[in-house]
């Protein structure tokens, strides 16, 4: 299925055939029931204004993904403010002030400022996405509309904004936090280099999209003009995160919790940009891993505080010694503070770098209020890192694994696997804290690439919770169904 908005003047909406002055072309396939994924590919033409390209790309995505996007809004956003009226009033005020700041900056900044040009394009793409979803006439511009799709792009930033704005605390979510697992691994004799990640969240987030954005932007200023990523309906960035760029960079992250809540005094609506925007800008503009960190560190919002791992595949040659520097950078963010370093030496020494929601840098550990202790993911990753990335990151043998044991009844938790499955814990069990028990939370996927696939911006993706050593996930027996408005998904 393809749709083309074409030419500056009329933008006719065509189905099934090409036209001479196409701005963008899009492809869409819904294979959720077969593979756990939907697929989107959008490509824009370089002979059109970049802002027009961005808007057209967004418009196509809104049209093509409308049905799945509608379900995703119902699953994740529609009831977000139910019983949280005062918090949502504060949240709308905060996001609105940030929108006003961005509007002012874009109006006063030259188009020659490439950073803010990238922000401008991102907002054109967002506006196009909203217009396409709402079936509005094609009108390239920025609307700054407070639409559910905007708020869904803020989803990761809301993890921390909820704490700053005093949303009522959920004891389960406080314990779970943002849990993901990531791994960078060098194969024996340096024959290959792998990067992979699994995302953990509520199962209502299992409507997923594998996206390929191919923008016809100036390749000198936007070496990451093409991005391949695992994402969600309506989101312009990965949010997992797992993204591969035409620049040769591959990026993953896992979330770090902020326990020192006074840090959020440094999170402001004005003068800062949310993570979702900064990630897009860095992905598109960075030429190497260090520059990615430099770009991302600008306008730090202190929301969606993550550990980011950035691999530069340009620096890796199979069967050769690892370079002295530049292959791996790791960045960690807290409100008011960002630390990043070249950790190529870590790969040289250990042949892998694991990411499991625990700060690597002492400065971040100290200021975040994090109490450093060995956690199940840390122990399992260290003890099983000789496995292949897919096998390792989808691993959950909680009834037998020593690191999954707890002072509980039964004496283990499926939430303590690398690929968590909170649905498997019995509802009548007793646990040390709520997040260990029967919860709507688990690993939703696996994504991973290597040198050969990275050259084509390809990656292996598995949709849905892990199974094999544990029973497969079944919607028919899932007892949180009241949370979901969905088509048939995964059996």
Render pLDDT for 297-331 as a digit per residue (tens, 0 to 9).
999 999 999 999 999 999 999 999 999 999 999 99
The reply to whether 44 and 117 lie within a common domain is yes
Can you tell me the mean pLDDT for 473-489?
69
Contact at 8 Å (CB) between 258 and 369?
yes
Cis bond before residue 410 (omega within 30° of 0): yes
In this predicted structure, what is the pLDDT of residue 160? 97
pTM of the complete model: 0.92
How many alpha carbons fall within 13 Å on the CB side of residue 211? 31
> For position 172, what pLDDT does the model report?
52
Write down the pLDDT at residue 474.
Answer: 87
Residue range 232-284, pLDDT digits in tens: 999 999 999 999 999 999 999 999 999 999 999 999 999 999 999 999 999 99
- Residues spanned by the domain of 344: 2-375+442-483
Is residue 369 located within the same domain as residue 419? no
Same domain, 42 and 189: yes
- The CA distance from 288 to 334, in Å, is 23
State yes or no: pLDDT of 482 exceeds 70: no
Residue 423 lies in a domain: yes
Contact between 98 and 274 (Cβ < 8 Å):
yes
Mark whether 231 and 306 lie in a shared domain. yes
* Choice between 87 and 177, residue whose per-residue pLDDT is larger: 87
Is 262 a member of any domain? yes
Q: What is the pLDDT of residue 378?
A: 53
Phi and psi angles of residue 170, each rounded to the nearest 5 degrees, phi first: -100, 115
Give pLDDT, residue 418: 86
Cα(195)–Cα(450) distance, rounded to whole angstroms?
Answer: 7
Q: Which residue has the tokens 């499991």?
A: 356
How many domains does the chain fold into? Answer: 2
Average pLDDT of the chain is 90
Listed in sequence order, the residues at least 6 apart from 368 whose beta carbon sits closer than 8 Å to its beta carbon are 256, 257, 258, 259, 260, 263, 305, 334, 359
> What is the predicted pLDDT for the residue at 491?
42
Q: Is residue 491 part of a domain?
A: no
Residue 488 is assigned to a structural domain of this protein? no
Residues 176 and 323 in one domain: yes
Same domain for 349 and 419: no
Same domain flag for 281 and 298? yes
- Same domain, yes or no, for 319 and 359? yes
Whether residue 404 lies inside any domain: the answer is yes
Q: What are the two backbone dihedrals, phi and then psi, of residue 94, each rounded to the nearest 5 degrees? A: -65, -50
Mean pLDDT over 220-228 rounds to 99
- Does residue 44 share a domain with residue 20? yes
Report how far residue 366's alpha carbon sits from residue 253's, in angstroms, rounded to the nearest whole number. Answer: 20
- Could you tell me the maximum CA-CA distance found in the chain, to the nearest angstrom? 68
Residue 48: in which H helix or E strand, if any? none
Geometric angle at alpha carbon 237, from 276 and 94, rounded to 5°: 25
Alpha-carbon span 71 to 220, nearest angstrom: 39
Residue 339 pLDDT? 99
**367: enclosing H helix or E strand:** helix 362-368
Same domain flag for 211 and 279? yes
Bridge partner list, 4: 14
10 CB-near residues (< 8 Å, 6+ apart): none
Best CA proximity match to 68, nearest among 202, 213, 205 = 205
Q: Cα dist. 207→52, 199, 491 in Å?
A: 28, 13, 14
Q: Is residue 77 part of a domain?
A: yes
Rounded to the nearest 10 degrees, the angle between the axes of helix 114-133 and helix 50-64 is 30
Number of H helices, E strands in the chain: 15, 17
Say yes or no: 298 and 422 in one domain. Answer: no
Helices assigned H by DSSP within 266-355:
275-285, 289-297, 344-350
- Residue (of 423, 260, 431) closest to 336 by Cα position: 260
Q: How far apart are CA 173 and CA 170, in angstroms?
A: 5
Residue 129 domain-assigned (yes or no): yes
CB atoms within 10 A of CB 346: 17
Distance, CA of 385 to CA of 83 (rounded, Å): 44
Which tokens hold the place of 424? Answer: 């498997």
DSSP state of 168: P
CATH assignment of the domain containing 65 = 3.60.60.30
Please state, for a pLDDT cut of 70, what percent of the chain lies above it: 88
Check whether residue 62 and residue 88 sit in a common domain.
yes
Contact 144, 103 (CB under 8 A): yes
Instruction: Kindly state whether residue 122 falls inside one of the protein's structural domains.
Output: yes
């Amino acid at each position: 299925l393809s749709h083309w908005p074409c030419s500056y003047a009329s933008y006719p909406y065509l189905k099934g055939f090409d036209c001479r002055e196409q701005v963008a072309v899009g492809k869409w396939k819904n294979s959720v029931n077969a593979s756990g994924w939907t697929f989107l590919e959008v490509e824009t033409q370089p002979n059109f204004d970049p802002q027009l390209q961005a808007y057209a790309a967004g418009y196509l995505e809104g049209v093509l993904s409308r049905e799945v996007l509608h379900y995703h809004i119902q699953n994740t956003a529609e009831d977000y403010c139910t019983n949280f009226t005062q918090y949502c009033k504060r949240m709308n005020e905060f996001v609105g002030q940030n929108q006003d700041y961005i509007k002012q900056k874009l109006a006063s900044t030259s188009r020659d400022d490439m950073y803010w040009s990238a922000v401008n394009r991102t907002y054109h793409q967002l506006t196009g996405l909203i217009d396409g979803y709402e079936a509005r006439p094609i009108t390239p511009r920025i609307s700054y509309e407070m639409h559910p799709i905007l708020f869904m792009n803020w989803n990761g930033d809301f993890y921390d904004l909820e704490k700053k704005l005093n949303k009522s605390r959920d004891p389960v979510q406080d314990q779970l936090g943002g849990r993901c697992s990531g791994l960078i691994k060098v194969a024996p004799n340096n024959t290959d280099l792998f990067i992979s990640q699994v995302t953990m969240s509520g199962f209502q987030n299992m409507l997923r999209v594998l996206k390929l954005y191919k923008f016809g932007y100036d390749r000198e200023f936007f070496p990451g003009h093409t991005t391949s990523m695992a994402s969600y309906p309506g989101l312009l960035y990965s949010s997992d995160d797992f993204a591969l760029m035409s620049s040769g960079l591959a990026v993953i992250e896992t979330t770090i919790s902020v326990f020192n809540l006074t840090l959020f005094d440094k999170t402001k609506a004005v003068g800062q940009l949310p993570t979702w925007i900064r990630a897009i800008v860095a992905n598109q503009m960075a030429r190497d891993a260090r520059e990615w960190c430099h770009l991302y560190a600008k306008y730090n919002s202190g929301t969606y505080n993550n550990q980011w791992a950035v691999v530069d595949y340009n620096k890796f040659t199979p069967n050769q010694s690892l370079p002295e520097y530049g292959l791996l950078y790791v960045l960690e963010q807290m409100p008011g503070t960002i630390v990043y370093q070249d950790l190529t030496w870590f790969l040289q020494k250990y042949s892998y770098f694991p990411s499991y929601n625990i700060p690597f840098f002492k400065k971040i550990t100290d200021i975040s209020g994090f109490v450093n202790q060995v956690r199940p993911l840390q122990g399992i990753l260290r003890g099983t890192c000789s496995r292949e990335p897919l096998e390792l990151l989808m691993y959950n043998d909680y009834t037998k694994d020593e690191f999954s044991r707890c002072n509980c009844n039964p004496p283990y938790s499926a939430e303590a696997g690398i690929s968590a499955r909170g649905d498997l814990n019995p509802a009548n069990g007793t646990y040390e804290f709520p997040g260990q028990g029967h919860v709507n939370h688990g690993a939703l996927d696996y994504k991973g690439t290597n040198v050969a696939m990275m050259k084509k911006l390809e990656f292996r993706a598995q949709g849905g919770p892990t199974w094999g050593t544990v029973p497969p996930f079944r919607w028919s027996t899932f007892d949180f169904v009241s949370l979901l408005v969905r088509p048939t998904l995964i059996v």
